[in-house]
Homo-oligomer: A and B are copies of this chain.
Amino acid sequence: MTAGMPSDLVVDLPVRLDRTDSRPLPTQLCDAVRALLASDVLHPGDRLPSTRVLAAQLGIARGGAVQAYEQLQAEGYLVGERGSGTRINPALARLHSTVRPPAAVPPPSADDVLHLRPGAPDVDTLTTPAWRTAWREAATRVADARTDPLGSPELRREIAEHVRQMRGVVAEPDRVVVTAGAREGFALLLRALAVGATIVEKQPPRGSSGRTLTIGVESPGYPSLRRVPVALGHRIADLHADEHGLDPASTTPDLDLVLVTPSHQFPHGGTLAAGRRVELASRSREQGWLIVEDDHDSEIRHVGAPVPALTALEPERTVMLGTFSSVISPGIACGYLILPGELVAAVRDLRGVLGQPVGAVVQGALARYLASGELRRRTQRQRRVYRRRREIVLQMLGDVPGAQLRPLDGGLHAVLVTKRPEAELVARCRGRGVGVVPLGAYWGGESSENGIVFGFGAHDDASLMRALAVIAEVADTQS
């Protein structure tokens, strides 16, 4: 990509001359250029500054620079033609053994496996004219203005409208924080809470390093978000979860927050029951902890009405962790927090110090894309596509002997509990060109059920059917 450097670019020569050195200045310059070549800073073909520019930079007479270049040309290190400047001799490439080829990074493992990644959305139809227009317009308006640390007013307004329309959550734009995704938003929230921005203060922060928080998590549960507090030095407390979601009876007063997936428990597949919602909210008040609602694929619901958000039920005690991963692509690296009003000031202060990680172009493009209505239109279309693919999964894996599908009410992954050992299933699928994940990989410390997890959203129907046929065959205990 950069093998041949454009001829109008010169390399900066990081050379310093030492007037107390006994060597004459031109000699020092020659030595420096040879050393830069030997240490691979200069490459054959690189263009050097003119003697005029170099002499001015180094504060020496131009004659000294000319003398050094002539010496190096005589030695074959440099070549120079009238009008095209002086370059490192390209012929040195053949001699110079330490030159590495520029493409040192290996290509992504080029296998023929169709990876059924859990949660991966279909992005084949993403790049519509509205999408391209949004990016084109945003790319031409990179202001140097430092944006609001919580995100641009336009994008925060559009996100507020998005959660109102998609999730029935009424949030003023000033309670919306643009994040680089659910995990980044969670990490930001944890830091803000650790230094004292807590609605129900449990204990005073111990010095400036902040409090270690205790976070209740569903057990079993999806591992991605629960790893974040662990990596940041906080404690995890396992709370019981079953096919009706998190069991509120398992929460305790020593918790600081409870991370819950009300619309889609993993791996049980169920939705948080209505009674448990109410109980969770009331225990939050009684026991003094904050609810963190992981809302990551709630927009993709196959069965029944949309599940009301806890954030709508208890807005002053709930933080919504939202993301555009499922409805756009994980590659967008953008999401949002909806904060209780009391937490806004502390998060704003922290964000002001740490910086807003989502750039102005991304924010501008996303605001335009949301404003066009295209994301909602696309999500409505995609729901039909995903529902069809879910039907395919149910038809092809619904009655395989020795295998049981978990409920598939929403989301883009399926859990197949199997009698055959999961390691064997994963290996046999892989051998037949299909990538699936063992259920045990998600379970953390606990003893796991046996089975596999796979995504059904990303690939076209025909590819999906071929892959599912393989899964059905290897899971079947009667085959």
Interface on A for B, CB 8 Å cutoff? 1-2, 5-6, 8-16, 18, 36, 39-41, 43, 46, 54, 57-59, 100, 102-105, 108, 117, 120-121, 123, 126-127, 131-132, 135-136, 138-140, 142-147, 153-154, 156-158, 161, 164-170, 172-174, 180-181, 183-184, 187, 191, 194-195, 207-210, 212, 227-228, 230-234, 274, 304-309, 312, 328-334, 350, 353-362, 365, 367, 370-371, 373, 376-377, 380, 458
Contact = CB atoms under 8 A, between A and B. Distances in A.
Nearest to A127: B140
A277 to B, nearest CB: 9
Contact of A357 (B6, B307, B357, B458): B357
6 contacts: A14-B306, A135-B135, A144-B329, A144-B330, A184-B354, A361-B365
Nearest to A119: B144
Contacts of A333: 355-360, 362
Given A168-B36, A183-B355, A306-B12, A209 B212 contact: yes
Nearest to A56: B304
A464 to B, nearest CB: 15
B12 A167 contact: yes
Contacts of A9: 165, 373, 376-377, 380
Nearest to A371: B1
Contact of A332 (B54, B350, B359): B359
Contacts of A54: 305
B357 A144 contact: no
A133 to B, nearest CB: 10
A356 to B, nearest CB: 7
B18 A274 contact: yes
Contacts of A1: 154, 157-158, 367, 371
A131 to B, nearest CB: 7
A146 B355 contact: no
A40 B167 CA distance: 13
